[in-house]
Structures are given as C-alpha cells and as structure tokens.
Structure 1
Amino acid sequence: MLRKISKVWVVAFAIGFLMLLLPEKGFADYPIFTQRYTADPTAVVYNGRLYVYCSHDSDATPGQSTYNIPDITCISTDDLKNWTDHGEVFNAKRDSSWASVSWAPSIVYRNNKFYLYYGNGGNGIGVAVSDSPTGPFKDPLPRALITGSTPGVQPAPNMWLFDPGVFVDDDGQAYMYFGGNGQNNIRVIKLGNDMISTVGSAMSMSAPRFFEAAWMHKYKGKYYFSYASDFSQGASKIEYMMSDSPTTGFTYKGVILPQPPDNYNNNNHHTTVEFNGNWYCVYHNRTLAKQRGEEPAYQRNVAIDQLFYNSDGTIKQVVPTTDGLKQLKYVNPYVKNTAVNIHKESGIETEECSEGGRNLGFIQNGDWIQVKGVDFGSGGATSFEARVASNTEGGNIEVRLDSPTGKLIGTCKVEGTGGWQKWTTKSCSISGATGVHDLFFKFTGGNDYLFNFSWWKFTSDAMPTPTIQPTPTTQPTPTTSPRPSPVPVTERSAFSRLEVEEFNDIKSSTMQKIGTAGGGSGIGYIEKGDYLVYKDIDFGTGANSFKALVATTGTPNIELRLDSPTGTLVGTLSVASTDGFNAYEEQSCSISKVTGKHDLYLVFTGAVNIDWFTFDKGSDTNKIGDVNCDGKVNSTDITVLKRHLLKIAPLTGENLSNADTNGDGNVTSTDLTLLMRYILKIIDTFPI
C-alpha cells in the first residue's frame, strides 16, 4: 500500500459575498468532496441519484507549472449532503486507444447507456461509453470524435478544442458545444443518434468575453448558453445568453456565478442540473488547496449551489455560502451503508474493494469520517456491525454522535485479518443512539495503518419507526400502527409501475404499510395465506413476465392469480432470500400470457416485504415505436421519425429497426401513420 501523502483537515467556514446586483439568497456546500482534488464538473440524474463527474487534479508536486489531469472522478448523492466516492471511472491512457489525458468531461444518459465526453488536453474531444453510471467507461473509437479537421471547425489561431458540453433537445437531437480562448471560438455540432458520431458541419457561435466551459441547458422552452468569461473585466465569471433556438439568436443576459471565494481570481467551470425539482449550479474553487497550505493554481475542488430563475426566465446570480443546502432525506442506519458515503472526512483515502465498490483505506490513528443526518428513530440502536480488513494489528472504530469528540455510543474493536482485502464483519453493542444525529466514526490505534473499512449498519431491538424499517433476521412482530386502507378502484395499466400499497382489497390480520430503504413505502408483516387485490388491471394485448421489488430472509412465493384468491394461476414468483427485510432486490418470473382486464390477486405463502411491481410484454415488440431508444413511445419519436423520412437526420441500427412499425422491413410514411395512431390511442398495438 502506498503511504498517505498528507492528512486532510476539513475546516468549514462561512463567507459573506457582496454583489453589485441584488441576487436571491442561495445556499451552497463546499468543498463537497475532499479525498481527491476535483474540477470541471458535469452531472446527470439517474435512479434518484445525482452523479457528478469531474476532472481529477493530481496532488501538487514541486515546481508544478500546469494542470495534471490523468483521469475522471465520479461522486454521487441522493440527499445533497453525503457523497459516495465511486473512484476514477475513466483513465485515458488505460481506457482509450488514442488519448493521453481526460479534461473537463460532459455526461449524457441515452440509449440505455452513459456517454462521457472529454478533452484530450486542448487538442481534440473523445467519447467513452458505459452501461453503468459508475463505469467502466471505454472509448469505442480509435480516434478523437472532434478534431481540427472536423467539418466546420476550422480552428482559429490558438483555438482550444476541449470543454465539450453535450445537450439533448426535447426532439431527441443531440448537440455538442465546445471550444475556447476567444469569443468567436465557439462551435456547435449535431451528434448522431448513436452519440459517438457527428452529423453535418459544425456551426460558429459567439459570446461576449467567451473563454471556455461551454454549456447548454433548457428551462421552460428557453435555451441558456453559459460559459466562463475571460479576464478582460477582472476575474473570470460564469456568464450566459438566452435564445429560442439551440444554435442561433442568442442575447447576452449577464452573470450566473461571480468569481467564487478562494478561487484566487482564477478560471472556473460549471454545469447546471435539475434534481428533485430544484436547479443547481455545480462549479469549482480552490478552498482545499488553501486549507492545506498548498500552491492553489492547479488543484481545485467542486462545490454545489442552488440556482434560481426570475419571473421573466432570466437567472438570478448565485451567492456562494457554506453548508447551506437542505438535506433531502435522512440516512437509514438499519441497512448496509457503504463507508465511502460521507459528508466530511479527516485523513482518509479510498481504493477499489475486492467485494465491489470502494472502501476506506490508508486509515491512521485519529482519522475520522462524518455521515450527515442519520435517523436512529425513537427506539434507538442496540448494536453495530462493520465490514473490515487489516494486514496489521488493527485498531478501533469509535462510534460517536455530532462531532469527532462527541458522545461515545460504542467502540468496535478490529483485529488483523491477514490482508488488506481479506474481509470480516466485526460488531459491538451500542447505547444512547436515538433520534437524528450526525454520525462520526473515529479511528484509533497504533502508529501504522490500522484497517480498511467497507460498510456499516446498526440494528435495533425496538419496534420500527413510521419512516424506517430495520433489517432483522426474522420478520418482526407487527407494530400497533393502523392497517393500510384500500384505495378507490381505478383502471390501471399492468405495464406501469404499481405501488403495492395502492391496493383495492386486502385479506390479512397483520399486514402494515412500512417505510422502505429508498425513502418510499411498501407493505410488510405479510404472513402465509395473506393476499392483496388490485382491480381492473389492464393487460392489453398480453403480458409475459412479472417483476417486483422485494425483501425477505426466507424463500416465500408470490402467486399471481386472476379474479379470485383461488382463480387462474398465471405465474409464481419464487422469492430468493435478500438477507434482510430492508435489503430490497428486483426479482422477476415469467407468466402465462395474460390479456384484457382482470382483478389481480397477489397471494403470499410466507413473510416478504414488497415495494412495487410491474408486468412486461416480454418480447422485443415492446421496443417498436421507440424510435429514439429512450424507453418510451411518445411525440418525440414522431419528430425523430419525421426527420428521418425528410433525410434531415437518417436513422440507423436499433433506432431504424424500432421505426419499422408495420414490420415489412422498410421505414416509410406508413410507419409514421401507424406511430401517430398508436400515440393517439386509435390503436393499442402495432401489426407485427
């Protein structure tokens, strides 16, 4: 193992910022991540989490005179306070056949894939692709996607070909904005539906004092082109223009983000993203380097700040503050939590874990991590488990509340396991943990590295609270909470996600509505012979499979019956153990083809918790009509198909196959007519 270069002592401090224009007060957090230096953020929202991808600035070296950005780091959050470290998800020398560095990424989710665009220094732009937001990302091309010879680029003297900003419009057309070092050095080019090719020639754009960091987003029908300005009027700022078009007609509107504190009047780079109904600006400054007393020029850290709009659609200036964003939800301590999901830390680093994900490593005496906003409930925790490994004599995990020296509620002793990746689970008793607290793990022991730390969870002997269900090894005794009530009968599609608590009838003496690990709700305390009824479920022209989000420690069955609890058995989900009643997994089974409308009965043979369920047509025919491959068939697909028929943006591959709605092997105006009739609900299936 490599020696730790230096400890990280994170010091949060408040900063007042005086503006020439009166902005709306916003709230920000910085630094939000301290294990590595990070900059040039881009972001995507996926499955309820906000993923942020950053240039990874290497640690400072003596005499460093330029940026050293070998790879791209990814972090994510679901509560805006605790951030999970996913590590370096793309390294150009490792994951590309042609590039040597990876600067200033831009991320897009489309075609059920994640596309990560990056600059090879200032000499060209590449793209890497993954099926997962956390990688691995690989560059599928043997060359750069954008070079000086790309049609329409025609770089001006000293024009930088980097800082891609990729935007997908409502009609499915994707654009890449890029360039740097001059107000006329902006280019925009269309991307193909495969997202790894270009269409036509690049178009020129111009913006006052444009320097770098081209970015586009859309809000209420308006297009916002934002960028980092040059230094001709003092410090670089994030400024913006607005238009009714993604490529022309822009009018300058002003400043989104002034020079942030601790940035030493240096450059900046940003992204704008909507998450859980609010807009945010993610950017960088140089707070960490200042705190560490290191040269701040080439080592940066990311920050996030809420963004507000005026009634006329213009953007209010962002006001940087520290530790101001509201935590969206509390952390559930009664499920497995990865140790690399943290709010603040001191001294730790992370590394790849042999059991998946990442673990805390290089831990020494006095290091600590903080998890923000942990809800222990009214009953409180009684024990603690930690997954650990050590190649030395180990040490201790002190479990404390509200500060590194706060109330000690337990100490977990870690002994040597014979290897840094030879994992075991250690436990200890806990006393005095109730309600909501910041949770601190303080690591103590000898003078060497102590141990690695992968995950943690608490258990409780008390009844579950209304919002959190613990993870017992057996189904707990039901609480005295009211039984769930039926909802009014409404016709529902079998192919939508059906929340299990929205039933129309019930047979049980124990079933209760429960909180689930993801912050939602479900049904628990199910016993053998219980059933739930969902009336008027529309299976259309046929369903062939069933899927549910379930949790159990046993192996119960969920029988799927039609029209009565002893009616036609169309399928049985044999639920496999998930090792806990709050450890939810998606599980599925095939069913006999069901058509038309039926009352659906879920009949249970044992204890299981269930969050939601859905049905699927179970064949590739459900892809027909999804011309842009976004998993939906809607008016956007009509637009994309029209553009193909007009030869504006020809379709290829799966997109072209999905456009053949009559199955005759050709894509013509007949397919467009069928698609329109399907979306207007004149027909409910395609003639294939």
Structure 2
Amino acid sequence: MRSMLTGLCALLATALFPAPVSADNPIIQTLFTADPAPLVHNGTVYLYTSHDEEEARNFVMRDWRLYTSTDMVNWTDHGAVASLKTFPWARQDNDAWAPQVIERGGKFYMYVPISVAGSPKNVLAVAVADTPYGPFKDALGHPLIAPARDNIDPTVAIDGDGQAYLYWGNPDLWRVKLNPDMISTAGPIVKMPRLTDYQEGPWFYRRAGHYYMAFASTCCPEGIGYAMSDHATGPWQYKGSIMDHDKRSSGNHPGIIDYKGHSYVFGFNYRFNDAQTREHRERRSVTVTEFHYNKDGTIPMQPWWDTVGVKQLGTIDPFRRVEAETIAWTSASDTSASGAHNWAPGVRTAKGAAGMYVTHVLDGGYIIVRGVDFGTGAGKSFDATIAAATGGGAIDLRLDSLTGPRVATLAVPATGGPETWRTETTPLARTRGVHDVFLVFHGKPGEPLFNFDAWQIGTARGKPRASR
C-alpha cells in the first residue's frame, strides 16, 4: 500500500501552538479525515472515517480509514481498511464517501456510497470483514441499493427485536429494512416525510427507549440537527439543533456513541485547511465533544467545535508495547497561504512490512501521548523499535511539555535500511505517576531521519531486544 500520507495534511503553523501543546481537537492530525462513524465493540472505540486527499479542492476521496481508542484521547492509526479497489466495478478515481460499520453475528458490515463509471448517480454498497480491522471485502459484487441521486451517507442500526434498518439520503431521507444476512433488503424502499432542517449525513440509533436521527442540517453552512421517534420507522419529530449552523464550516456529519458512561458526538471542521490556506478546500478534520442528555432524552445545544478535546478515560500502560502511531497530538508547520508544502517539523504514518508506523520524522517534530502511567517508578529503560538508512537521529522522551524534564534520550543508529527494524534501548531516569509523554525527534534539519514503529518502558536494563 502506498504511504498513508502525501504530507502531514496542513497542520497549523507551529507558532500557533507554543509548547506545551494543549489542543487535542481535531483528533487526527496526520491526515484529512471526515464523516466520522464510531463503533463501540468489546471496550474499544473503532472510528471509521472517509479521507480527503491532500490535493483536494473539491471532494477527492478514495479510501476509508480506521482509528481506535480506549481512552478517547490517544488514537491509534490502522490505515485504510477499504478503498475503491474493494469494489472493482465502481468508479476508481473518486467518490469514497461517508461510511458506517456495524457488527452482527461475529462479522462486520461496512456500508458506503460510491458511484459507477459513466453515471451521475450514486449507489450504496456493502463490504464485510471478520474483524473490525478489516480488510473489508465486497459482499455482493454489485450495488446493494441501485443508482439514485439521493444515495449518499448510509446509516444502519439493529433494533431490539433484531430487525436492521438502513437509512440514507440527501436532500431526502430514505429507509429500507435489511435481512438478517445484512447484505440484502426486505420490502420496499420508503421515502420519509421531509424533516425540518435536514440536509444529509443521517446518524440513526436507539438509546434508552428513544430512537434518534441526527443529521447535517441545511447547507450551507451546515450544523447538526436531530429528530426523535418512538419507533425505528418514525414518524420523526424534529427536536432542534445539537450544534448550530456556523460559517466556519460548509459541511458537517454527526456520529454519536455512548462509551464508558459518557456520551459523545463526532463531527468535522476545516481548522487545519484554514490554517494552511485562505482558499476553501474540501479537506476536513474529525472532531469530538462530550455532551449530556437531558432527563427526557433530548440533546442540549453544543458549542461549536473547540480545540480542547474531551477528558481522558483511563491511562496508557507504557510497560506494554505502545504503537508509535498511537497519538494524541503531533506536530508540523506549513506557513504557505497558497497551499504549497513546506513541511518542518513533522511526522507521517505509513504501512509496510512492519504494519503501520511513523515515517518522515523530521528534526524538531514530536508526538504527544497523553496520560501515560509510569506507576511507582519501576521503569529502567526506554525502548524503541526503529529503522534508519543512516544514523545520527535521536528521540528525547520528555514529560508534560516540550520543555519538560527529559528522562531519556535514545540515539538512533543506522539499521541497514528504512524497513530494517531494530529495537534500541537507553536508560530511563526515575519516573513516577501519570504524565503526558512528548516524544521529540532530533537530527539533521530538513531531512527525514528514521522510521518509528513502537516504544515501551522496560523494567530491567540489558541488551536490546532481538531485531524484527
């Protein structure tokens, strides 16, 4: 697979984020992401997204991505789990729009809108996988829902009686029942009565005896509205805005979950695009905020997406392998208003023989992992799995800020190549309690330094672990 990134996707200029960095929204900084579709499964949040390509001005979207978290703050990048190539009968250069994934019977079903070459109309397709990590495979070899102009933004849920429903549409909302196999329909497609302020991006779910239909509200700009019902099939009663229309975002797309006793709404904004260029380009960034339902089940109005993010649920155990692509925040700068690239410092993520890893590491770049629990101070070493064609790079481990205490510095030697992996170790100063970890990279300015696969805190000094 080609590199996940063609660039670190227009992050804000470093000057906008003086150390220590406290902003954790948008939650993905290594890529432009949109159309968040969170799924809670076995104690983990699986966040599926669409992906705006770096060169996009209008919508340029070719694959679907996955990020996971168990604390809502640190997100692990799993790369593309499906793409237009998953559906070889579809148009291959564009139109990988908003997905949603649901589990049933131990399998995972991804519903996506795509287009067929030579047709101005979209179809809905379905892919299936044995795990939430994919890879997803075309389940039918043809569309699930035949071409129509309204066929975008599928959302799916299974009612308490086992009946699954698929909703979708812009500017109208449509509904059909799914058979238990989740890849065929039962009965007619029904056009729903027009909902107040409805535009697109429906998100259908059931909670505490209520049925909800959240959606992107009338364009443009779009906010997030919602309706409620006593039945999975409606009728739907408009309840108002979850987030008001805001000129800072021409689009929006809700995804709503409960996780570990908290309620969250995901969406997106254009913050990173706007930091890079004054030109409005369809390059979006997924965001999240926590909210609390009212006693009657209604949802209070939320402020526009802020930069603070949500509170962390739990901590990271550094005594077990931590993937380098597990990130709360990472750095880059691009001060060009034209959109031309001038990256420094920064990191990218890629996929190769080692699985996902951090690449294009530059001098001065950094990764923040929040809420790392060092316990009572048993850690003796900082171990990192790296690959480098040439030596001379280094990783500083600092606590709580870019200028916080430096508790380890690991020199990165030449390992024989950019995918010749070796685990190096260095002493760790006595470190106790819970800290935000700043992994800060150093080396020859302006040149990619090394690739970075994982890190861990060791409890006994000794020889480096065996190479990969």
The residue type equivalent to 2:156 in the other structure is V
- In the aligned structure 2, how far is the partner of 1:80 from the partner of 1:243? 29
DSSP 3-state at the match of 2:441: strand
Q: Given the superposition, is the C-alpha separation of residues 404 and 9 from structure 1 closer, same or farther in structure 2, using an over 3 Å criterion?
A: farther
Preserved CA contact (<8 Å) 2:26 2:309: no
1:272 aligns with 2:256: yes
- In the aligned structure 2, how far is the partner of 1:165 from the partner of 1:240? 14
Partner of 2:336: none
- In the aligned structure 1, how far is the partner of 2:11 from the partner of 2:235? 47
Structure 1 counterpart of 2:274, from 267, 290, 294? 290
Partner of 1:342: 327
Preserved CA contact (<8 Å) 2:97 2:112: yes
1:427 aligns with 2:421: no
DSSP 3-state at the match of 1:381: coil
1:179 aligns with 2:173: no
1:68 aligns with 2:60: yes
Counterpart mapping for 1:216-255 below 5 A: 216-231=204-219, 235-255=221-241
Any idea what the Cα deviations from partners look like across 1:422-460, whole Å, max 9, x if unmatched? 111101001142221110111111242111111111123
Partner of 1:39: 34
Counterpart mapping for 1:435-584 below 5 A: 435-447=433-445, 448-460=447-459
User: Which structure exhibits the higher relative contact order, with contacts defined as CA atoms closer than 8 Å and separated by 6 or more residues?
Assistant: 2
1:299 aligns with 2:300: no
DSSP 3-state at the match of 1:167: strand
1:330 aligns with 2:288: no
DSSP 3-state at the match of 1:144: coil
Any idea what the Cα deviations from partners look like across 1:392-427, whole Å, max 9, x if unmatched? 335111111112232211111111111211111101
Any idea what the Cα deviations from partners look like across 1:254-286, whole Å, max 9, x if unmatched? 1112236xx624111111111112221111111
The residue type equivalent to 2:253 in the other structure is H
Partner of 1:615: none
- In the aligned structure 2, how far is the partner of 1:186 from the partner of 1:4? 36
RMSD between aligned residues: 2.4
The residue type equivalent to 2:448 in the other structure is Y
Partner of 1:99: 90
Shift of 1:9: 4.5
- In the aligned structure 2, how far is the partner of 1:378 from the partner of 1:293? 47
Q: Which protein is bigger by CA-based radius of gyration? A: 1
Any idea what the Cα deviations from partners look like across 1:363-415, whole Å, max 9, x if unmatched? 11111101001111222522111111112335111111112232211111111
Partner of 1:378: 376
Any idea what the Cα deviations from partners look like across 1:127-181, whole Å, max 9, x if unmatched? 1111121111111222111114xxxxxx5xxx42110011111111111101102
1:145 aligns with 2:144: yes
The residue type equivalent to 1:211 in the other structure is Q
- Unpaired stretches in structure 2, ≥5 consecutive residues: 18-22, 116-120, 332-345
Shift of 1:198: 0.8
The residue type equivalent to 2:88 in the other structure is S
Preserved CA contact (<8 Å) 1:96 1:139: yes
Runs of 4+ in 1 over 4 A off after TM superposition: 1-4, 9-14
Counterpart mapping for 1:372-411 below 5 A: 372-411=370-409
The residue type equivalent to 1:363 in the other structure is V
Preserved CA contact (<8 Å) 1:13 1:322: no
The residue type equivalent to 2:68 in the other structure is S
- In the aligned structure 1, how far is the partner of 2:109 from the partner of 2:139? 11
Partner of 2:335: none
Once the two structures are aligned, what percentage of the paired residues are identical?
36
Q: Given the superposition, is the C-alpha separation of residues 43 and 11 from structure 1 closer, same or farther in structure 2, using an over 3 Å criterion?
A: farther
Counterpart mapping for 1:645-684 below 5 A: none
Structure 2 counterpart of 1:194, from 136, 158, 181? 181
Q: Given the superposition, is the C-alpha separation of residues 10 and 223 from structure 1 closer, same or farther in structure 2, using an over 3 Å criterion?
A: farther
Q: TM-score, normalised by structure 2?
A: 0.87
- In the aligned structure 1, how far is the partner of 2:314 from the partner of 2:308? 16
